[in-house]
Amino acid sequence: MSESRFILAGVMGWPVAHSRSPVIHKHWIAQYGLQGTYVQLPVQPERLGDAIRGLPALGFAGCNVTVPHKVEALALMDDVHPVARRMAAINTIVVREDGSLYGMNNDGAGWVQSLRDADPAWRAQAGPALVLGAGGAARAIVVALLDEGAPEVRLTNRTREKAEALAQELGPQVKVVDWKDRNQAMAGVSLLVNTTTQGMQGHPALDVVLDDLPVGALVSDLVYIPQETPLLATARQRGHRAVGGLGMLINQARPAFHAWFGVMPEVTPALRAALQATF
Ligand code: NAP
pTM: 0.95
Question: What are the boundaries of each domain within the chain?
Answer: 2-105+252-276, 108-244
CB-ligand 1 contact for 200 (6 Å cutoff): yes
Confidence of residue 229 (pLDDT cuts 50, 70, 90): very high
Mean pLDDT over 154-161 rounds to 98
Using pLDDT thresholds of 50, 70 and 90, give the confidence band for residue 1.
very low
Task: Reply yes or no on domain 108-244 having CATH 3.40.50.970.
Answer: no
Nearest protein Cα to ligand 1, atom 18: 198
- For the chain, give the mean pLDDT: 96
Q: Choose the CATH number for 2-105+252-276 among 3.40.50.300, 3.40.50.2300, 3.40.50.10860, 3.30.70.580.
A: 3.40.50.10860
Residues 6+ apart with CB under 8 A from 252: 91, 106, 107, 109, 110, 111
> Does the CB atom of residue 227 touch ligand 1 within 6 A?
no
CA-closest candidate to residue 149, choices 191, 183, 107:
191
2-105+252-276 matches 108-244 in fold? yes
Instruction: Tell the residue nearest (CA) to atom 46 of ligand 1.
Output: 159
Which pLDDT score is estimated for 4? 53
Q: Name the band, by pLDDT with cuts 50, 70 and 90, for residue 244.
A: very high
Residues 6+ apart with CB under 8 A from 51: 12, 41, 43
pLDDT (tens digit, 9 = 90+) per residue, 162-188? 999 999 999 999 999 999 999 999 999
Cβ 128 under 6 angstroms from ligand 1: no
For ligand 1, what atom is nearest to the CA of residue 246? 41
Q: Three-state secondary structure along the chain?
A: CCCCCCEEEEEEECCCCCCCHHHHHHHHHHHCCCCEEEEEEECCHHHHHHHHHCHHHHCECEEEECCCCHHHHHCCCCEECHHHHHHCCCCEEEECCCCCEEEECCHHHHHHHHHHHHCCCCCHHHCCEEEECCCHHHHHHHHHHHHCCCCCEEEEECCHHHHHHHHHHHCCCEEEEEHHHCCHHHCCCCEEEECCCCCCCCCCCCCCCCCCCCCCCEEEECCCCCCCCHHHHHHHHCCCCEECCHHHHHHHHHHHHHHHHCCCCCCCHHHHHHHHCCC
pLDDT of residue 279: 87
Closest atom of ligand 1 to CA, residue 200: 32
- Given the residues 70, 162, 175, 180, the one annotated as active site: 70
Averaged pLDDT, 45-58: 98
pLDDT for 268 beyond 70: yes
pLDDT digits (tens, 9 = 90+) for 115-152: 999 999 999 999 999 999 999 899 999 999 999 999 99
Query: Which pLDDT score, from 0 to 100, does residue 2 have?
Result: 46
Asked if 112 contacts 140 with a C-beta cutoff of 8 angstroms, the reply is no
What's the CA gap between 256 and 233, in Å, rounded? 31
Q: What's the mean pLDDT in 186-200?
A: 97
